[in-house]
Chains A and B, each alone.
Chain A
């Protein structure tokens, strides 16, 4: 079974803090994605990566950055957390020849 693991289920951070959300997949997938999920808005793509050290902006990259130093790990960084970044963050991965994407269990981030 494909496993996508996010480092935390729940996080509470203060405004202005630098926040790291980690995601690891164990299926040697080339493509990895970070989404945020908000009520009524669905999943919105923040950043994705199609190879090590490669990254592409999604629909809402402002206030975020990413790092992909190893194939299995894709990190989402909030440089200076703000209250409007309170959300559910979902990581996903997909092999190039695969059909569907596989999701991690999500990290619910609250910025106070």
Chain B
């Protein structure tokens, strides 16, 4: 079966650092993705990991451990505009390489 788990909600303060965890169990693995989705809008791509380790992109970093089925998204110097849902997704290996998404983590950044 396929299962992706992440916390439902998190709250953090402007300027702080927050880590959003994601654990997964999937039948095929061809990369782990993080998307950001503001309320009422389309998900937009944030990061991609296919090998173990840390990928850094500005204020956002993403980590992957394939042996543990674990990833996290790290957001630094939080801004109010970072209030959004963060979606963890695993890309499969079958035709189309479709994505399996977790339930999403709603992050609220408070002043």
Chain A residues with a Cβ under 8 A of chain B = 4, 31, 33, 35, 40-45, 48-50, 56, 58, 90, 92, 94, 99-106
Contact = CB atoms under 8 A, between A and B. Distances in A.
B7 interface: no
Main SS of chain A's interface residues?
Answer: strand
B98 A58 contact: yes
Contacts of B98: 31, 33, 45, 48, 58
Contacts of A102: 45
B25 interface: no
A50 B33 contact: no
A43 B95 contact: no
Nearest to A88: B40
12 contacts: A33-B96, A42-B87, A42-B101, A42-B103, A42-B104, A43-B43, A43-B89, A45-B99, A48-B98, A56-B95, A100-B45, A105-B42
**7 closest pairs, A vs B, by CB?**
A43-B101, A103-B42, A42-B103, A100-B45, A50-B96, A42-B101, A31-B96
B96 A56 contact: yes
B64 to A, nearest CB: 14
B48 interface: yes
A40 B48 contact: no
Nearest to A103: B42
Nearest to B46: A100
Contacts of A35: 101
Contacts of B101: 35, 42-44
A58 to B, nearest CB: 7
